Structure 1
Amino acid sequence: MSDIDGGPGPRNPEPSEAVRLLFARPWTFVRGMSRVDDLPPVAGTVEVAFAGRSNVGKSSLINALTGQGGLARTSNTPGRTQELNLFKPERDSGVFLVDMPGYGYAEAPKEKVDVWNRLIRDYLRGRPNLRRVFVLIDGRHGLKKNDEEVLDLLDKAAVSYQVVLTKADKLKPGGIAKLAAETLERIRKRPAAHPEVLTTSSEKGAGIDELRAAIAALIG
């Protein structure tokens, strides 16, 4: 875990050469897709996806990972990501980061929420090249009911996922470590859950190298 709270603790490790090479290249936005049938062919490709409640900070985290502040469009308006948004490193057509539509936006019309949820389900069931879904949880609030519902869906679809706590810098000292331990205990018996919870802060850069390393290991 990163030294997010400012006290004694392990510092971010030096990134390996594979991690450095993957994220040193410029990344580009491919396009947004509202149907799974429009996605690139699965053969010869690897996808890593990001899911989370609306306004959890998915776009900010993708920008922090790639070191490109304007790559993924950020907004203060919850529910703005309505498609599967794909990003790839330049000169590499086989690796994709996928920003999934945010879920749990209560003010969105039910018809729109149903469309988003159907897109998410179709994507999870139809992408054998999907190596892992990083499920982002707002560190200020922890796991909520709609998060648990998404974890249930991932377990049922047998899609590997890993919980990532975001906005860790917003918690009081010691708070993020306690939340990480509590979250890990809550997901411990889930069949598709990765047995490690990552903690990040897009604003401060904490935990970004660990997340990059996790992604590079899945792609390599």
Structure 2
Amino acid sequence: MQPRFRETAFSHGVSRLDQLPDDRGIEIAFAGRSNAGKSSALNRLCGRKGLARVGRTPGRTQEINVFTLPPAEDWRLIDLPGYGYARVSAKQREHWDRLLGGYLQKRQCLAGLVLIMDVRRPLTELDWQMLDWAGARRLHCVLTKADKVSRQEAQRQLHAAHARLEEAGIDASLQTFSALKDQGVEDLRGLLTEWIEEEGENTAMPDQTA
């Protein structure tokens, strides 16, 4: 059973972890700095122009937004609040930290994290914080806005980010992406489909300890 990304639909937004759906099924989370292109990447992935709101003001996503992913009733895409935007209060930033960190560290049905980063500014200090929260979960880094730089520069940034992650002992796959040019969309869909299929196989395996 494969995910039907084009039928993804917004379910609801939550401001507390206890408002999330029951911790079962399969979730794939999307995280990234404000203005890194996370909403545009989600919209392009799902082929739905207005699915995730693209705001002119960075930091607009202030809740965890939950999207259903057919055909399974308990498959979900999770849009985490954008982080790193300066024009929010310290109290709001602390709330986001608790929400993001708590979700990534505690959510059992989380199959993997897609970290969205601007190809021109990958692996900022706050991105490393996100990676620390994610721990050993599956990780895929998407370097967005590849249309803003030359192909050579995009590849240079891709290889440099891979080397830095490898040096830090972090196992991750990486790709470049452009929502504007429709670049890397099928690669991302294919990878997430693999994650879901693998997770489904793992959860369907019978208990061998009995």
Shift of 1:142: 2.2
Gaps of 5+ in 1: 1-16
How many residues are paired up? 197
The one-letter code sitting in structure 2 at the alignment partner of 1:31 is H
Shift of 1:192: 4.6
Q: 2:113 aligns with which of 114, 133, 136?
A: 133
Match of 1:215 in 2: 192
Q: Does 1:176 align with 2:154?
A: yes
Shift of 1:60: 0.7
Q: 5 Å matches for 1:1-220? A: 18=2, 22-23=4-5, 25-43=6-24, 45-155=25-135, 158-194=136-172, 196-220=173-197
Gaps of 5+ in 2: 198-210
State the 4+ residue runs in structure 1 displaced beyond 4 angstroms: none
Structure 1 distance, partners of 2:61, 2:95, is: 12
Report the secondary structure of 1:188's partner residue. Answer: helix
- TM-score normalised per structure 1: 0.84
Shift of 1:105: 0.7
- TM-score normalised per structure 2: 0.88
Report the secondary structure of 2:4's partner residue. Answer: helix
Structure 2 distance, partners of 1:150, 1:27, is: 25
Native 8 Å contact 2:66 2:76 kept in 1: yes
- Richer in helix (by share): 2
Native 8 Å contact 2:105 2:133 kept in 1: no
Comparing 63-72 with 134-143, greater Cα deviation is found at: 134-143
The one-letter code sitting in structure 1 at the alignment partner of 2:162 is L
Shift of 1:149: 2.1
Structure 2 distance, partners of 1:31, 1:204, is: 29
Shift of 1:152: 2.3
